[in-house]
């Protein structure tokens, strides 16, 4: 029988006991998984091993569901602090490449670095790498590391890890057959006191009614390709102004659109300040949207990928439409 869980390399647990200070770094435009992975591991290292920890993330902390975590993260590390911290080492979580760490990477140069990740695209970096692309979330790997080190997460750690797993799996909607290991791990988080209801509320609750109007706008303007095989929509800065920053609820948008019969891919292009656009791409079947994201200089997973690029929102949307049409054509004539 195949192993229930990925095994944890010895170099990973050795790394996490060898140093006195750990700088935990998560990715730009953070999501629940990266922040929860940093916090879950950091809380554990501090509690169980007496390590001194600091958390880094350059933000922006735009996603509503992570705003309560933002204050624990610093954007940069100043050299005087680094010089005073005893025996520091770095753990980078949920980052597919060094560029995803952002400007704080410059402050961490020269320190021993462990990378814990689950992305399919990207370039290897760091002194020790633990990248498992079969893992549904980096938080799942963090839980397995804690358990490999002979401990059970506390209720607080279990809650944060469940939140991270829930956010990366779309509250388990994207998990498939062969997810028994993940659910067994989640069961142990529940035994430790984590609440599925609380994780759901953190992910999906707390919006204003305006957020539902924004969803309606984005659905109303959606461009439908190939009889509904792909749907592309976009959000402008004036939408953000009209409905409020906290109104974005991309996960619910994907859920509503993936309910449409025959849809295989969804694209959401968001106009950002400074002439940039962010793209979020989702796939429900065999089409690999990380390959589409690569065309725009981004990356991610087969079924969830993204990018940030300079350009006007209409132009980027048209390019995404073209790339989606090509991907659909390729998948019908492989
Ligand atoms: P998002 O659509 O922003 O939720 O991102 C979906 C996935 O794509 C996440 O796993 C991200 O790590 C990845 N991703 C998003 N933006 C980028 C980027 N600029 N470069 C590489 N990967 C990205
Ligand atoms: Mn992430
Ligand atoms: Mn992740």
Question: DSSP string spanning 258-274?
Answer: HTSTT--EEEEEEEETT
Whole-number CA gyration radius for the chain: 20
Q: Residue 299 gets which letter from DSSP?
A: E
Which ligand is nearest the CA of 137, by number?
3
Q: Residue whose CA is closest, atom 19 of ligand 1?
A: 307
Domain 10-203 fold is inorganic pyrophosphatase (n-terminal core) (3.90.1640)
As a whole-number percent, the residues of the chain with pLDDT over 90 amount to: 94
User: In the chain, what are the domain boundaries?
Assistant: 10-203, 209-332
Q: What is the mean pLDDT of residues 228-257?
A: 95
Ligand 1 pocket test, pick from 298, 309, 310 with the greatest ligand atom count within 8 Å of Cβ, gives: 298
Angle subtended by helix axes 180-191 and 155-168, to nearest 10: 150
Question: pLDDT by residue (tens digit) across 273-321?
Answer: 999 999 999 999 999 999 999 999 999 999 999 999 999 999 999 999 9
Cβ contact 85:52 at 8 Å? yes
Q: For ligand 1, is residue 267 a contact (CB within 6 Å)?
A: no
Ion ligand 2, residues whose Cβ is below 5 A away? 31, 33-34, 94
Tens-place pLDDT, residues 6-16: 999 999 999 99
CB atoms within 10 A of CB 226: 14
Percent with pLDDT over 70 in the chain:
99
Average pLDDT, the chain: 96
Cα distance between residue 248 and residue 310, in whole Å = 21
265 vs 174 pLDDT, higher one? 265
Q: Which CATH number fits domain 209-332: 3.10.129.10, 3.90.1280.10, 3.40.718.10, 3.10.310.30?
A: 3.10.310.30
Ligand 1 atom at shortest distance from the alpha carbon of 119:
10
Q: State whether the Cα torsion 227-228-232-235 is positive or negative.
A: positive
Q: How far apart are CA 53 and CA 46, in angstroms?
A: 7
Q: Distance between alpha carbon 271 and the CA centroid of its chain, in Å?
A: 20
Q: What is the pLDDT of residues 173-206, one digit of tens each?
A: 989 888 999 999 999 999 999 999 999 999 999 9
């Amino acid at each position: 029988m195949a192993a229930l869980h990925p095994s944890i390399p010895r170099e990973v647990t050795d790394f996490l006991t060898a140093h006195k200070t750990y700088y935990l770094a998560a990715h730009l435009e953070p999501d629940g998984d990266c922040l929860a992975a940093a916090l879950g591991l950091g809380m554990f290292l501090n509690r169980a091993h007496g390590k001194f920890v600091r958390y880094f993330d350059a933000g922006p902390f735009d996603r509503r569901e992570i705003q309560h975590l933002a204050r624990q993260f610093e954007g940069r590390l100043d050299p005087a602090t680094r010089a005073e911290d005893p025996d520091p080492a770095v753990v980078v979580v949920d980052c597919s490449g060094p560029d995803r760490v952002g400007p704080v990477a410059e402050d961490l140069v020269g320190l021993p670095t462990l990378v814990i990740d689950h992305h399919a695209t990207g370039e290897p970096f760091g002194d020790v790498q633990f990248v498992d692309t079969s893992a549904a979330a980096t938080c799942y790997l963090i839980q397995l590391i804690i358990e490999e080190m002979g401990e059970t997460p506390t209720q607080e750690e279990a809650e944060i890890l469940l939140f991270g797993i829930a956010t990366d799996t779309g509250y388990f909607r994207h998990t498939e057959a062969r997810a028994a290991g993940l659910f067994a791990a989640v069961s142990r988080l529940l035994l430790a006191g984590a609440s599925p209801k609380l994780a759901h509320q953190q992910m999906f609750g707390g919006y204003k009614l305006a957020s539902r109007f924004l969803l309606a706008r984005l659905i109303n303007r959606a461009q439908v390709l190939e009889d509904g095989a792909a749907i592309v929509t976009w959000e402008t800065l004036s939408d953000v102004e009209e409905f409020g920053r906290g109104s974005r609820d991309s996960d619910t948008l994907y859920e509503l659109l993936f309910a449409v019969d025959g849809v295989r891919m969804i694209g959401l292009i968001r106009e950002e300040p400074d002439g940039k656009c962010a793209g979020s791409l989702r796939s429900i079947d065999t089409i690999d949207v990380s390959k589409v994201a690569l065309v725009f200089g981004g990356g991610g997973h087969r079924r969830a990928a993204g990018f940030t690029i300079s350009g006007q929102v209409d132009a980027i949307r048209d390019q995404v439409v073209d790339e989606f049409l090509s991907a659909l054509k390729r998948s019908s004539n492989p």
